[in-house]
Structure 1
């Protein structure tokens, strides 16, 4: 989940911060190493959950490619269609290891398990189901009506000096002022809309996975800021994004006790559904 931190923690981003954050170094036997940087942290120097999901997915795709190449199996280029992850603990900044295990190689769908570890302890485990994303128009759709680009008066999160996390400088995130009640110091419904795009590059399917957790936590609209840790997140990738802004809507069905849900709908600049993400998360402490 996204959370905010003082502007003093912000570091200058790389030319293409998203691709740079997903750099993998092979470590043998389906393993990879990666570096978690400050540019993708949220409140309390915790690495953003959407970035971890994208990193896990990239490792899964790399592991599948290495497996099929070594075994001589002919396969279509792997694309993620479903990613499901359990968030076990928040990793610290620095090096992490990703271990991949190919469970199935199929004509229509293949499955890879991935574990992200740090200091020998698992922080994130998940499953990446791959296939071939569909081409062409939808036969039927029922999507929220969102403007293709941020309208006048929308709020760029990096322009909110008291609410900026380093994440806000690693990609462009714009909030719909009508739904972001917390920016006005008001209590509102558990719905947020916004727009996001990477810096220095165009969005791809991995960035679409990041977008499924990119807005501030919906708890902000109830006057409850702070870290809202994701416990489980499942994302369905429905297409390859066109260049430009991704528009999104995040909603919740139920807040009960310490638990609440968030559902994301991600639409590209051409009005196509690109990603759906659902997570179960915990409310802020205190």
Structure 2
């Protein structure tokens, strides 16, 4: 285990002309697949790096929006990323990024860079979740199958007892809540991006099946820089039909500010 799993799992090696490589390891995985949130972070870093190259000498950009198409699931190992600057502006800049492996396109993304606000919000929808995990919260390390690997080993994370009926063999509304922070460092906007896709699929609570629920499309808005401490994640599904379901996730920091809003379309796991 590394001392800063998030930072050390999101290293890009520059190859020139907007090209980068990254290594997908056994941390930040779901089973034997790289976690979708981690893949989005790598795409965002590549896009922002390309935009900052075009803006040489200016303050680095923050991620403000990331829209990703999940075409295939890359295997653990080396992936290549190619980023192109689509627009370089005063307030908003945009890059397109492709992640490939073995000559096949795995994911594509549009990355919007800008400046995250430092001012307090004029208004936001409040969360009812406590700042820190309560005593009855469920440590994710207690429910993983492979200690030392996976998302639970790379982060400190807890599930909300009230919204995890699936862990007790029950059913409930498709709602999930939990707390998360990186090990060995404080959360930043890119970790907030990952947290927007970190909870178990909400459809687990419907009893419709368990297992991999592949994301097809995920768009995330970054709203502010996270304060030190726990991130509170709340997700829910609005419509589940056939093999498809949606999820909206809101991530709130320890200061009570929304730091990420994510919406995805995914395929439900098949009933055994």
* Equivalent residue number for residue 48 of structure 2: 61
Matched, 1:30 2:13: no
Name the residue aligned to 2:143: 160
Higher mean alpha-carbon deviation, 56-65 vs 263-272, is at 56-65
Decide which of 129, 137, 151 is 2:134's aligned counterpart: 151
Structure 1 window deviating more from structure 2 (215-224 vs 177-186): it is: 215-224
Q: Identify the residue that residue 261 of structure 1 maps to in structure 2.
A: 246
- CA deviations on 1:178-205 (whole Å, 9 max, x unpaired) are 1111111111110011100000110000
Structure 1 unmatched ranges of 5 or more: 1-12
Name which structure has the greater RCO, CA cutoff 8 Å, separation 6+: 1
My pick for the range that moved more, 224-233 or 142-151, is 142-151
Over residues 26-82 of structure 1, what are the superposed CA-to-partner deviations in whole Å (9 max), with x where a residue is unaligned?
111110010000112112x0110001001110111111112222xxxx644200101
Alpha-carbon distance between aligned partners in 2 of 1:61 and 1:261, rounded to the nearest angstrom? 28
Which position in structure 2 is the counterpart of 1:140?
Answer: 123
What is the CA–CA distance in structure 2 between the aligned matches of 1:20 and 1:95, rounded to whole Å?
14
2:104 aligned with 1:104, yes or no? Answer: no
Is the contact between residue 212 and residue 269 of structure 2 (CA under 8 Å) also seen in structure 1? yes
Q: Does 119-128 or 138-147 show the bigger shift?
A: 138-147
Q: CA RMSD in A?
A: 1.3
Partner of 1:230: 215
CA offsets 1:91-136 (integer angstroms, 9 cap, x no match): 0010000000000010110000010110111101000001101112
Structure 1 residue runs of 4 or more that deviate by more than 6 Å after TM superposition: none
CA distance in 2 between counterparts of 1:86 and 1:143 reads 30
Please tell me whether residue 271 in structure 1 is matched to residue 256 in structure 2: yes
Counterpart position of 1:197: 181
| Match in the other structure for 1:6 | none
Please say if residues 157 and 163 of structure 1, whose CA atoms lie closer than 8 Å, have aligned partners that are also in contact: no
Supply the distance in 1 between the matched residues of 2:151 and 2:253 (Cα, whole angstroms).
Answer: 21
- Secondary structure of 2:163's counterpart equals coil
Aligned residues: 269
- Structure 2 distance, partners of 1:237, 1:279, is 15
1:282 aligned onto 2:261: no
- Specify the SS of the correspondent of 1:39: coil
Does residue 1:175 correspond to 2:159, yes or no? Answer: yes
Say yes or no: does 1:39 pair with 2:35.
Answer: no
Cα distance in 2, alignment partners of residues 106 and 137 from structure 1: 25
2:113 is the counterpart of 1:130: yes
- Kindly tell me: are residues 161 and 89 of structure 1, through their superposed partners in 2, closer, same or farther at Cα, counting changes over 3 Å? closer
TM-score by length of 1: 0.91
**Residues 39 and 167 in structure 1, CA contact (< 8 A), matched pair in contact too:** yes
* Cα separation, partners in 2 of 1:188 and 1:163, compared to 1, 3 Å: farther
List gaps (5 residues or longer) in structure 2.
none
Q: Distance in 2 between matches of 1:97 and 1:162?
A: 29
**Normalized against structure 2, the TM-score is what?**
0.96
Tell me, in whole angstroms, the C-alpha distance in 1 between the residues paired with 2:249 and 2:146: 22
- Alpha-carbon separation, structure 2, partners of 1:241 and 1:203: 6
Q: Does 1:206 align with 2:190?
A: yes
Look up the match of 2:200: 216
